[in-house]
Structure 1
Amino acid sequence: MSAISGGVMDLVRDDLRGFAGYSSARRAGVSGSIWLNANESAWRNPADSTVGANRYPDPQPAALRERLAGLYGVRAAQVLIGRGSDEAIDLLVRALCRPGEDAVLVAPPVFGMYAVSARLQGARLVELPLRDGAGGFSLDLQAVADAAVSSGAKLVFLCSPANPTGQAIAPADLLALARRLAGRCLLVVDEAYGEYSDQPSVAGWIDEQPNLAVLRTLSKAHALAAARIGCLLAAPELVELLRNCQAPYPLPSPSVQLALAGLSDAALAQTRGRVLTVRAERERLRHELPSCPGVLRVYPSQGNYLLARFEDAGAAFARLLAAGVVVRDMRASPQLGDALRLSIGSPGENDALLAALQAGRAAA
């Protein structure tokens, strides 16, 4: 590991700063043609004709790491690949937060895994609620900075575009927040839905502001949710430390192969076209949903979803289910007791959503 001398590594738990983790057979840095160092089977499974699943996979495959680095505009040394974004969230909380002492700051209503990981680690959870205004939900970043400093938070998780509320934060504002928090905590910007947003990524600022980290995933725009491939973009020394905290073989070979194929130039061209379709459909639904019976408000969104409030969200949810349309019930979330989150589907699926909601007019 690189020498730890100030900067972002000062935020890591003292007892983990020299942690070397488990040295697996694939991290030994050796090569050969006869592999007898990992107690694997010398034969493939009878059903395996292509993958070679009898051998353990590379923990951080170089080809995929380079491809992701190019996709997100960073260096390969700044990329930690994991099992979706969830693994990176968990690793960050475990590596930076001492149970019962350190805090994690979140801005609800927001993606629930930040709070889940904090609870599992025994970290204090500091919540600074979003504000619901005429233009949609927003966050007071000065209040975030003040709350993070006063609570001694080690991690601030901000989702941009935010899930489920849809708003995005300007990169300049995020960079200013990271500067305010330098030396105190790590600002983690979750850009899971970044491909659908008008706002550019902040990943290019990591070198300048090493207490800034970014979460990305192939689960959304790249249509690889089942492959479970996500990554953390962060300072190389933090990536190296978290790799030592990660499970020995986090990336199944079939998932890696699928990810590489899904990030080919041809696949990326199709993905960009589909993103444009989703953005157009998102705006179509945002304008058509308010005419559906019982819809009170539809929030603007930078993601591939819309948050909507209903006169009777339970009845709307049941009516959609009866039509075979499954949406996300948000009623248990703070400030969202009358809301549903509607993912943007294909044009035909979106038509079915609208038709099911319009059916409420005939039933009324």
Structure 2
Amino acid sequence: MSGVLELVREDLRDFAGYASARSVTAAGPLRLDANESAWSSAADPAGSCVRYPDPQPDALVQALAALYGCGPERLVVGRGSDEAIDLLVRALCRPGRDAVAITPPVFGMYAVAVRLHAARLLEVPLVEIAGGFEVEFDRLAQVALEGGARLVFLCSPGNPTGNALALERVAMLADALQGRALVVVDEAYAEFSRAPSATALLDAHANIAVLRTLSKAHALAGARIGTVIADPGLARVLRRCQAPYPVPAPCAELAVAALQPDVLARTARQIATVRAERARMATRIAALGCVTRVYPSEGNFLLVRFSDAGAAFERLLQAGIVVRDQRAAPSLGDALRITIGTPEQNDRVLQALGAPATEAP
């Protein structure tokens, strides 16, 4: 048994999961094995959804493996990063015994999954420095070891902070937790960053897993396509812990279409626009009298502190603009997170916040 599989709950290491019709039977021209309807729906005359989908659609798995530069045996495709987070906590943490370490302020679904699976939550808050926020890696390793963590969630670029993590520090953390915990790097916003992906660490560190999604840069949030990239043995365990048919056929087809070369070229141009607009918005917002700080960001958003965040939030709402209120997050009682939109949308944000209509000469 590989070292990382020893982190899996003992009762799930040999768990077979549900053997769906699509996972155990051969293909044939007449399929009467899954109790599906013999007729297509009037709403789906082509019959594209009359059959259960492949649990891990091969065309999508191959396209994602090419996109992320890894072997398909490492991939688990599911319903967004949210399902991936849930699967990892479910498979590794024994309820009431094991813990999960996080670095708040950070994506709230980590703590939600921990609560739902009755694990313990360990928090090592980010430290604010001149350049933004940073993870206290040494402290995180100590807390994880002493607290019995089976999982450590990192977010790079961070949500809502926007900070990217140095791979050498992630690798050092994985070394410190070897045989004790899995280090999960959530890269939902990686396409907007120039930092290298933690997938580069997987061959040398079996106790690292990476989360990716098509929801952000690839503009498919409604399709709910997320991926865990992990040790092949761990990936097999996670697939067995999934619901029988996690990827609806229309969503898989849409995702494969989005990963064709011509669409990827358009996506790359949109990412370049986001980066340029992120820089422009950071400069313009920082010049506003109501703003006390704009944090550097490697994501498609900016974290902004205001002298009166509540008033700024209301001004934006009155202009028909909804941003993410961060005031309930640890240490962010005066902050809002603003997604980078189109240039025209960004101009509306600036106008609502009281910026001049044009840049000063």
TM-score normalised according to structure 2 size: 0.97
Tell me what 2:207 maps to.
211
SS at match of 2:353: helix
TM-superposed CA distance for 1:92, in Å, is 0.4
Partner of 2:95: 99
State which of 291, 295, 299 in structure 2 corresponds to 1:299.
295
* Distance in 2, Cα, partners of 1:352 & 1:164: 22
- 1:172 is aligned to 168
Residue type of the alignment partner of 1:35: R
Aligned to 1:196: 192
Would you say the 8 A contact 1:74–1:204 is kept in 2?
no
Q: Do residues 233 (structure 1) and 220 (structure 2) align?
A: no
Report percent identity of matched pairs: 58
1:34 aligned to 17, 20, 30, which one?
A: 30
Task: Give, in whole Å, the separation in 2 of the partners of 1:132 and 1:318.
Answer: 27
**Are 1:51 and 1:253, in contact at CA under 8 Å, matched by a contact in 2?**
no
Q: Distance in 2 between matches of 1:76 and 1:50?
A: 30
Report SS of the residue matched to 2:115.
helix
Return the match for 1:314 from 301, 310, 317: 310
1:325-364 Cα deviation digits (max 9, x unpaired):
110000000000000000000000000000000179xxxx
The 1-side partners of 2:229 and 2:294 are apart by 33
For residues 227 and 243 of structure 1, the distance between their equivalents in structure 2, rounded to whole angstroms, comes to: 19
The answer to whether the aligner puts 1:24 opposite 2:20 as a matched pair is yes
How far did 1:177 drift?
Answer: 1.3
Q: How many residues align?
A: 357
* Letter matched to residue 46 of structure 1: A
Of residues 332, 335, 339, the one that matches 1:339 is 335
Runs of 4+ in 1 over 3 A off after TM superposition: none
Cα distance between partner residues in 2 of 1:50 and 1:162? 43
Q: Give a deviation string over 1:53-107, Cα, whole Å, max 9, x none.
A: 1100000001100110110011000000000000010000011001110000000
Q: Tell me the equivalent position of 1:280.
A: 276
How far apart are residue 108 of structure 1 and its match?
0.1
Contact 2:304 2:335 in 1 (8 A): yes
Match of 1:65 in 2: 61
Give CA-to-partner distance per residue, 1:215-271, whole Å, 9 cap, x none: 000000000000000000001111111111100001111100100111100000000
In structure 2, the CA distance between the partners of 1:285 and 1:11, relative to structure 1 (3 Å rule), is same
Within the candidate set 174, 180, 183, 1:184 is matched to 180
The Cα offsets for residues 86-142 of structure 1, whole Å up to 9 and x where unpaired, read as 001000001100111000000000000000000000000000000111111111111
In 2: Cα distance, 1:238 partner to 1:205 partner: 16
- Is 1:246 aligned to 2:259, yes or no? no
Q: Report the counterpart of residue 262 of structure 1 in structure 2.
A: 258
Long gaps (5+) in structure 2 = 357-361
Residue identity in the other structure for 2:338: L
From 113, 120, 125, the equivalent of 1:124 is 120
Equivalent of 1:327, from 323, 326, 329?
323
CA distance in 2, matches of 1:329, 1:6: 43
Q: 1:140 aligns with which of 136, 146, 154?
A: 136
Q: Out of 287-296 and 42-51, give the one that drifted further.
A: 42-51
1:57–1:251 Cα contact (<8 Å) kept: yes
C-alpha deviation, 1:208, in angstroms: 1.6
- Structure 1 residue 51: Cα displacement: 5.4
Cα–Cα, structure 1 residues 29 and 76, in superposed 2: closer, same or farther, change >3 Å? Answer: farther
Moved more, 198-207 or 72-81: 198-207
CA shift at 1:29, angstroms? 4.0
Q: Is the 8 A contact 1:196 1:303 kept in 2?
A: yes
Q: Letter of the aligned partner of 1:16 in structure 2?
A: L
Structure 1 regions of 5+ residues with no counterpart?
Answer: none
Report the CA distance between 1:207 and its aligned residue. 2.2
TM-score by length of 1: 0.96
Q: Compute the displacement of 1:291 (Å).
A: 1.8
Summarize deviations over 1:275-305 as a string: whole Å, max 9, x none: 0100000000111102223111000000000
RMSD: 1.2
Per-residue CA distance 1:5-59 (angstroms, 9 max, x = gap)? 1410000011111100000000014110001000000111112134521100000
- Could you tell me which amino acid in structure 1 is paired with residue 39 of structure 2? W
Distance 2:295 2:58 in 1: 41
- Whichever residue aligns with residue 148 of structure 1, its letter is A
Distance in 1 between residues matched to 2:170 and 2:319, nearest whole Å:
42
CA distance in 1, matches of 2:168, 2:83: 27
Question: Which amino acid is 2:148 matched to?
Answer: G
Q: Give yes or no for the alignment of 1:349 onto 2:345.
A: yes
